[in-house]
Each structure stands twice: as C-alpha cells, then as structure tokens.
Amino acid sequence: MGMGKEDITMALWKEYLEKDQVRAHSKQPEGIPQASESRRPAEAGSPKNDSLIAAGLTVEGKIQGVGHLRIAGRFQGDVQVEGDLTIEPGAHVTGDLRASTINVGGEVQGNIQATMRVQLLQSGALIGDVKAGSLTVAAGSRMRGKVEFGWEEEATTRGATREEGESR
C-alpha cells in the first residue's frame, strides 16, 4: 500500500485548496484594515510613530506630539515633540525646537531646548540659544548664541535669577 506520485500531488493540492478556502471566508472587504492592526496603538519610538518632512517640501505651522521627527525640507514654526528631532543636512528650520534629543545637520534659526542631548553635526548651523543636558559639537559646525548644558533645571533657573539681580 504505497503511495504513488499521484496520491502525493492530490494531497498537497487538497491541502492548498483548504487553506485558500479558509482565507476566503475570513477575509474582510478591501480597504478595511484588520481589527488587530487598526486598534493597536503605536508604541513611542516605533517606526510607525516616526514622521518626516521630506526634502523639497516647505511647511509652516506648529508641530506637537509624541514620536520621532525628521525634517529634511523647510519648516517655519515651533516644534515640540516627546522623542528625537533630527534636522537633516540641507534642511532649513526657523522656530523654537523642544525635544528629548535634537540632532542638527541643517540650518536652524531659533532656540533649542533638549531634555537629554543636542548634537550639532559637521554640516549643522545654528543661530539661537541652546539649553540641554549635554552638548556635542562637531568640527566644522557653526553656531551663534548662548549655550547652557549639564545643569539641572532648578540650578539653571536659580543661576539666571542671580545673574539678573547681582553682578559678580
């Protein structure tokens, strides 16, 4: 009672048809995402939570939210994100920037405040003040403004008040 070549082919074909029929019955109409995909929130820092203003685009307005943002085009306005902000080489941004980590490879005119770190890359140019937990400045980058880094929020506020009220 050996199986012939024809029996094996029939068994594989039947198995394929059964799987195809199961898919056909469970398939929802096109254009409607499956419930597991549409109702699952994107985790912070996941690729689904990244945003991009592409090169060649010019955008004006205000950006606020959670997630990572990359700007490769032109943006005029303030940005406040709970995540990383990257200004790509060739990008131009005019406005105040606030994020956890800010990488500047393009041109920024405005103040920068980062809870963690600011990186001014070799191609980066900044006209404005920087306040950050830490600062990395690459050779070749350009900056004009005031810098505060390595201070806790409370100490920075106290120091600014004393400098305004007293002279050293």
Give the H or E element holding residue 18: helix 5-26
- The β-bridge partners of 102 are 85, 118
How many whole angstroms separate alpha carbon 115 and alpha carbon 102? 9
Q: Note whether residue 39 is domain-resident.
A: no
Tens of pLDDT, residue by residue over 63-83, are 999 999 999 999 999 999 999
Domain that holds residue 80: 47-158
How many whole angstroms separate alpha carbon 43 and alpha carbon 2? 55
Q: Note whether residue 33 is domain-resident.
A: no
Q: Note whether residue 27 is domain-resident.
A: no
Scan for tokens 């403004």, then name that residue. 145
Tell me how far CA of residue 91 lies from CA of 40, 82, 86, 128, 160, in angstroms.
33, 21, 10, 16, 32
DSSP assignment of 69-118: EEE-SEEES-EEEESEEEE-TT-EEES-EEEEEEEESSEEES-EEEEEEE
Q: Note whether residue 1 is domain-resident.
A: no
Q: Note whether residue 29 is domain-resident.
A: no
- The residue with greater pLDDT, 136 or 35, is 136
**Which band of pLDDT confidence, cut at 50, 70 and 90, is reported for residue 151?**
confident
Position 48 scores a pLDDT of 55
Torsion of CA 42, 44, 48, 54, to 10 degrees: 140
How many whole angstroms separate alpha carbon 94 and alpha carbon 74? 8
Parallel/antiparallel/unpaired status of strands 142-144 and 84-87: unpaired
Instruction: Kindly report whether the global pTM for this prediction surpasses the value 0.85.
Output: no
Give the chain's mean pLDDT. 76
Q: Note whether residue 120 is domain-resident.
A: yes
Average pLDDT, stretch 141-168? Answer: 65
Tally of domains within the chain: 1
